[in-house]
Amino acid sequence: MKTFIAILCLSMFSVSSAAEPLRETSDVFPPGFNGVARYRIPGIVVTPKGTVLAYCEARRNNSSDWGEIEIHLRRSLDGGRTWEPAKHIAHIGDRLQGNFHKKEDGEREQTVNNPVAIVDRQTGAIEFLYCINYARCYSMRSTDDGLTWSVPVDITATFEPFRKHYDWKVIATGPGHGIQLSSGRLVVPIWLAYGNAGDHSPSAAATIFSDDHGRTWQPGKLAVPNEGDFNNPNETMLATLSDDSVMLVTRSVSKPNRKLITISSDGATGWSKPVFHDQLWEPVCMAGMVAHPSQPGTLIFSNPHSLPLDKDGNEKPAGRGKRENLCIKLSRDDGKTWPINKVLDPGKAAYSDLAVLPDGTVLCLYEKADSIACARFNLEWIGTL
């Protein structure tokens, strides 16, 4: 039976390999939509039924990381071509107010931040994690493809063991999406900061995981510490490799201006020593990554392909490249090399996340200038190896 399924899957993708290049874009969260000043921090997943869930932070009054911020979600039933009305989904109960970065009336604001969805393909449920005021973390669940959500559960205690490494003042999930391993384990990337209250640096990166379908969460081991050549690792993305191990790709403000890579066999422990990947440029911006089912070891990566340059055109160590020129990279060897780099949007573009539809079409939800858009494309558009 397994052999038959494998042949069928390969047959499906061999047929799609003859398809014409596809590249389409739709607006999902435009500026001013539903009275929101700015939408940021996108995440996207595809449910086992093929429903697309696109979610992000709805920053009510301005683009600041702190302020009156909600989590909004839109569903698509046609593969990301059209979208249902947006819903405010996270923490619609007792408010937890307090803005460390606003002297006047900051105590009246509630920052709901860093949404992360995880598709449980064994149960069909969608687990959803988010934080409030970068100080508490909550988990909720949908069993009807994102139409309704359970009452949030406070899981902040999961982060307490990380204090043996850093006395954190800030915690954050993702952003983007989490993954499920073949064992059923759910894995979510996280980062924590241990400076002054509310400050996002200095920071370090790790994961949390669940082995009981999201009922409880546990801390993994520290994956990328803030030490040596690694300067303030924070927002990370992850994907499963062909052997079911997990690769974590981390943002930092380090001298090489490159993403940091580390690998674990179980997504939680035994992380390899982080290394900088020369082909994954670091403009100090969250990136997206997803495994593609066309063949084992295939990964898709999205990020602004930009480096910080001085007036003479030389790369500046530990600089900040411009958030523009969003590119899609393709690897067929578990992320060891990324031989294809295709421009998705040459203009202003920042955070992004990736998902794959049942037919192999790739979705990239990304910050396009001051909006959030969804691009649909296939492997033929990216290019072939």
Annotated domain spans of the chain: 25-98+107-382
Task: Find the DSSP H helices in the chain.
Answer: 2-16, 379-382
DSSP string, 112-181: EEEEEEEE-TTT--EEEEEEETTTEEEEEEESSTTSS-PPPEE-GGGGGGGGGT---SEEEE-SEE-EE-
The pLDDT, as a whole number, for residue 101 is 81
DSSP summary character for residue 199: -
Q: What is the pTM of this model?
A: 0.94
The pLDDT, as a whole number, for residue 105 is 76
For tokens 């937890």, name the residue. 96
Tokens of 54: 């696109």
Please give the Cα distance from 238 to 313 (Å, whole number): 32
3-state secondary structure of 6: helix
The pLDDT, as a whole number, for residue 273 is 98
Residues in the chain: 385
Tokens of 185: 């384990």
Backbone phi and psi for residue 82, each to the nearest 5 degrees, phi listed first: -130, 165
Could you report how far apart the first and last alpha carbons of the chain are, in Å?
A: 30
Helix (H) or strand (E) holding 279: strand 275-281
CATH fold of 25-98+107-382, please?
Answer: Neuraminidase (2.120.10)
Cβ distance 22 to 377 under 8 Å? yes
The pLDDT, as a whole number, for residue 104 is 76
- Farthest-apart Cα atoms in the chain, separation: 65
Q: Across-strand partners of 229? A: none
CB atoms within 10 A of CB 369: 14
Give CA torsion, residues 191, 297, 42, 326, to 10 deg. Answer: 110
Torsion sign over Cα 302, 308, 314, 315? negative
Cβ distance 205 to 190 under 8 Å? yes
The pLDDT, as a whole number, for residue 4 is 36
Please give the Cα distance from 21 to 40 (Å, whole number): 29
DSSP string, 362-379: EEEEEEETTEEEEEEE-H
3-state secondary structure of 2: helix
Please give the Cα distance from 57 to 124 (Å, whole number): 25
The pLDDT, as a whole number, for residue 18 is 62
Q: Across-strand partners of 233? A: none
Query: What Rg, from alpha-carbon coordinates, does the chain have?
Result: 20
- Kindly report, residue by residue over 152-200, the tens digit of the pLDDT: 999 999 999 999 999 999 999 999 999 999 999 999 999 999 999 899 9
Backbone phi and psi for residue 51, each to the nearest 5 degrees, phi listed first: -75, 135
pLDDT along the chain (385 residues), means of 10: 39 53 96 95 98 98 95 98 97 88 83 98 98 97 98 98 97 98 98 95 98 98 98 98 98 97 98 98 98 97 97 95 97 98 98 98 97 97 82
The pLDDT, as a whole number, for residue 106 is 78
Residue type, 353: D
Q: Across-strand partners of 305? A: none
Closest CA to 190 of 211, 168, 212: 168
Closest CA to 137 of 117, 118, 113: 113
- Kindly report, residue by residue over 324-349, the tens digit of the pLDDT: 999 999 999 999 999 999 999 999 99
Residue type, 164: K
Please give the Cα distance from 157 to 323 (Å, whole number): 35
Cβ distance 55 to 41 under 8 Å? no
